[in-house]
A and B are shown apart, each in its own frame.
Chain A
Amino acid sequence: MIIVTRANITEKELDHIRERIEGAGLRTHISRGEQRTIIGCIGDESRLQDIPLRTLPGVESVMPVLRPFKRASIDFAAERTVVDVGLGATFGGEAVSIIAGPCSVEGKAMLRETAIAVKNAGASMLRGGAFKPRTSPYSFQGLGAEALQMLSDIRREIGIPVVTEVLDTRHVDLVAEHADMLQVGARNMQNFALLAELGRVQRPVLLKRGLMATITELLMAAEYIMAHGNSQVVVCERGIRTFETSTRNTLDISAIPVIKRESHLPVIVDPSHAGGVADFVLPLALAAVAAGADGLIIEVHPDPESALSDGDQSLTLSAFDNLMDRLDPLAAAVGRTIGAAAPAGDAI
């Protein structure tokens, strides 16, 4: 249930409404917009039956929330959420922010080379896997803590924020020490222990859609993180499993407008994993931005042929440069801009 308040509500009236709801054993969530303030009620709503909510001073209307997710629901927010990662990278505002980098961190030199190139091309964030969830236990598993240190060194050196995946609840604090944003991979989307742990850290989370997950399940996973105290969540469409075999996964472009209708959270797209082939990255990236995506996450490698993982879908540095050139006019056509990282030398 949500309570929409009158525009001129006082702090005292707001406190009183929240005290009445919390006094019935529920919790409240507040969203202040320019036009209105919304109080979201979380908990057993039958306990509110005896409270004359509509007559409390400052209340304009009371409405039920039929969606299973509450904090992630569009009803709970007076405005769309803008997730600020720091160092100039934001998701959900006018800027479409591009995250680029290698599938996995293979060494400092290649990471530096990639970071400089993608930043110069206009990317807002650097990606790079330290812990890799590979289908086979015999595939390269990532450099782990060593890679985190490299990410953190390059972040400082180049002045670009970094996102990296966290696979294990035991690594959450370690990864949070090095990265500006923590990624939950598609295979971990419903790892509820991990989601709960991420709710406790004050770092933005990039939550990827599971390859067999519905949009509602994705938003319920976001709800988990938010219910545990972290509202800085960006969701990511990365392709779902269908009967089609000519692409690695089928990019669900329609997920973008659906999520925008259902939720206030920013949504970005991963065209690299969806298509699974470098040639498909550009058209899928253009389609995603045209459909309203708030950002993209793209795999880029200085030498895809020798990449230790996902070489087939990685763009070369020059192909990425070309992609960024093509994105600019498209973003302008849909009233957006392509965001860029803050210049080097800013406070880190």
Chain B
Amino acid sequence: MKLTPEADLEQCRAEIGAIDREIVALLRRRVDLGLKTKSLKQELGLPILDPGREAAVIRGAVESAREANLPDEPVREIFWRVLSLSRAAQQLEEK
């Protein structure tokens, strides 16, 4: 049965809401893994902050964005924010 435009809109919004919750859950997982890599780096005596690795992560995200037909510059900005989220969590742990 075809949905009315109103019901269709409602459904789209519900789906967007679900995606947003999923994004937040993924960010949580990403931050947790960042904290784990931090302790592993400490164990291995490696520096915590690795700009080379960050740059590679950004480049990877940008390339995926292009493949997904998304504008790369905004995606690049989003991923710098994602990285800063991990950084902030790592620093918070130190306090």
- Enumerate chain A interface residues (CB-CB to B < 8 A): 11, 15, 18-25, 27, 30, 229
Check A30/B59 contact, CB under 8 A, given A22-B51, A24-B51.
no
Instruction: Name the residue of chain A whose CB is nearest to the CB of B51.
Output: A25
List 17 A-B residue pairs with CB atoms under 8 Å apart, sorted by A's residue number: A11-B66, A15-B59, A15-B63, A18-B59, A19-B55, A19-B58, A19-B59, A22-B51, A22-B54, A22-B55, A22-B58, A23-B52, A23-B56, A24-B51, A25-B51, A27-B80, A229-B77
Instruction: Name the residue of chain A whose CB is nearest to the CB of B52.
Output: A23
Instruction: Name the residue of chain B whose CB is nearest to the CB of A26.
Output: B51
B residues 60-78 near A (Cβ < 8 Å) are 62-63, 66, 73, 77
- Residues on the A chain within 8 Å of B77, using CB: 229
State the CA gap A25–B83 with chains docked (Å).
13
Check A15/B62 contact, CB under 8 A, given A22-B55, A23-B52, A23-B55.
yes
- Residues on the B chain within 8 Å of A15, using CB: 59, 62-63
| Cβ–Cβ contact B73 & A30, under 8 A | yes
State the CA gap A18–B52 with chains docked (Å).
11
- Enumerate chain B interface residues (CB-CB to A < 8 A): 51-52, 54-56, 58-59, 62-63, 66, 73, 77, 80
State the CA gap A18–B73 with chains docked (Å).
12
- Residues on the A chain within 8 Å of B54, using CB: 22-23
- Residues on the B chain within 8 Å of A21, using CB: 55
| Cβ–Cβ contact A19 & B56, under 8 A | yes
Indicate the member of B59, B66, B77 with the most A CB atoms within 10 Å.
B59
State the CA gap A15–B75 with chains docked (Å).
14
A212 to chain B: closest CB distance in Å?
Answer: 34
- Residues on the A chain within 8 Å of B63, using CB: 15
State the CA gap A30–B76 with chains docked (Å).
11
Instruction: Name the residue of chain B whose CB is nearest to the CB of A29.
Output: B73
- Residues on the A chain within 8 Å of B62, using CB: 15
State the CA gap A15–B55 with chains docked (Å).
10
- Residues on the B chain within 8 Å of A22, using CB: 51, 54-55, 58
State the CA gap A21–B51 with chains docked (Å).
9
Instruction: Name the residue of chain B whose CB is nearest to the CB of A15.
Output: B59
Supply 11 further A-B pairs (C-beta < 8 A) apart from A22-B54, A23-B55: A18-B55, A18-B59, A19-B58, A19-B59, A21-B55, A22-B51, A22-B55, A22-B58, A25-B51, A27-B80, A229-B77
State the CA gap A81–B15 with chains docked (Å).
37
Indicate the member of B52, B55, B63, B80 with the most A CB atoms within 10 Å.
B55
State the CA gap A183–B62 with chains docked (Å).
33
State the CA gap A64–B80 with chains docked (Å).
25
- Residues on the A chain within 8 Å of B51, using CB: 22-25
State the CA gap A11–B56 with chains docked (Å).
15
A5 to chain B: closest CB distance in Å?
Answer: 15
State the CA gap A324–B62 with chains docked (Å).
47
Indicate the member of B51, B54, B77 with the most A CB atoms within 10 Å.
B51
Instruction: Name the residue of chain A whose CB is nearest to the CB of B59.
Output: A19
A60 to chain B: closest CB distance in Å?
Answer: 21
- Residues on the A chain within 8 Å of B73, using CB: 30
Instruction: Name the residue of chain B whose CB is nearest to the CB of A32.
Output: B73
State the CA gap A185–B56 with chains docked (Å).
41
- Residues on the A chain within 8 Å of B59, using CB: 15, 18-19
